[in-house]
Amino acid sequence: MRQMTGDILSVGSELFVYQSNIELKQFSSNRLDLILKSVNLNDSGLYTCMFNDEKLISFLIEILVAPHFVSYYPLEGSISYPEGSSLNLSCHAFAIPSVNISWIFKNKIKHSKSIHHGENLYLTSIQPSDSGLYECVASNMYHASISRAFYVTVQYVPHVLILNDKIRNILHDTVVIKCRVCSIPQVNHIYWFRENQQIIDVNIDIKTQIIDDQCSESLMKIININEYQFGQYECRADNILGYKSDYTSIQQISRIRKVKQKIYTDEINRNGRTALSYNKTQKRKKNQTITTNMVNVVKGALLKCDPAIIQYLIYLDETLAFGEKFILNRLDEQHLFVQSTAVTMIKQKLQEQIDKISYDSTQTK
């Protein structure tokens, strides 16, 4: 008898149900076996063997079912959300015994972390660092785990950063300004403005290149800068979500002039009259520049950078960002000779600037 339904399956050696997967097998006069073949979920339940209305023994049969998903959201494998919105993912699975569901997050650099247990995952105020792969894993102790992955992209307005914070140049010099822009989706345009007017100067060359799937760089080169081109500059970028800007300024500085000096000997009193006499070398050559026999030796490091980074390092030097000046000599537009003790701090400062606009984040919610 199947106790859960009350069905009498057999009496003696005669079957009362006609199911192809149920058989009786007589081993002896006092032993009769019930055989269930190719069992399925409907075969679960309590089976009782009776003799003359006396219960002899009962068997509880539980059919184990491997996990399988019955529903999940979203139906697509990838989905996009705007920055600051809420994220909602779900997956529902069935199994016997019941499953445990956990969520694993993998960011763009393949770092993974378990972030939630349960069928529904809900995050609020998501940021670009929340972009990545969200995997729903269903498992029990009897079967292999199954999983469903969703790739989430967090869209955001452009993040704009001008690497040259403050620039000082002399008249008729060449100035290079670099602007880095990161966004999802990619930017539509990158514009340059001076005093709120879009730049169309003939001596200004603007080039834009794509760095990766999120970031681009715009390089503005002012050749032979004139007195009207000093002032505040704006780098502006837009995409379908909006636009953002960053600002810098170019300040004019005077050219350093070298002045020749004459060398005089000490004053000599003669008959109450004061006279100035040149040394023998100065009698032969007037207006000779000062010379010295002493040599100062300074240990330094040679840095090769693009012009935009050079301008940024000059700004750090002039504002005493490290507590003192560290640039010993600017050799040309791409080379600086700096104190060797400042190299580590320079690397840290440049990394900080890069981190402001890079969202290869390990933060999860």
**Inter-residue contact 22 to 36 (CB < 8 Å):** yes
- State pTM to two decimals: 0.57
In degrees and rounded to multiples of 5, residue 310 shows phi and psi of -55, -45
In the structure encoding, which two tokens stand for residue 108, read together?
């763009």
Answer yes or no: is 2 within a domain. Answer: no
**345 and 262 in one domain?**
yes
**What is the reported pLDDT for 291?**
42
- Taking alpha carbons only, the member of 71, 86, 163 closest to residue 124 is 86
Segments in the chain forming alpha helices (H): 280-284, 307-318, 343-355
Burial group, residue 84, by CB count within 10 angstroms (0-12, 13-18, 19+): exposed
In the structure encoding, which two tokens stand for residue 75, read together?
């139906």
Q: Give helix 343-355 / helix 307-318 axis angle, nearest 10°.
A: 110
Confidence of residue 358 (pLDDT cuts 50, 70, 90): low
Of 136, 156, 176, the residue that ends a domain is 156
**248 and 180 in one domain?**
yes
Of 114, 138, 156, the residue that ends a domain is 156
Confidence of residue 99 (pLDDT cuts 50, 70, 90): very high
Confidence of residue 323 (pLDDT cuts 50, 70, 90): confident
Answer yes or no: is 1 within a domain. Answer: no
Segment 258-296, tens digit of pLDDT: 544 444 434 334 444 433 333 444 444 444 444 444 556
Share of the chain above pLDDT 90, in %: 38
Of 194, 219, 252, the residue that ends a domain is 252
**What is the reported pLDDT for 123?**
94
CATH number of the domain that residue 308 is part of: 3.30.70.1220
- Taking alpha carbons only, the member of 303, 304, 346, 306 closest to residue 179 is 306
- In which domain, by residue range, is 169 found? 163-252
**105 and 81 in one domain?**
yes
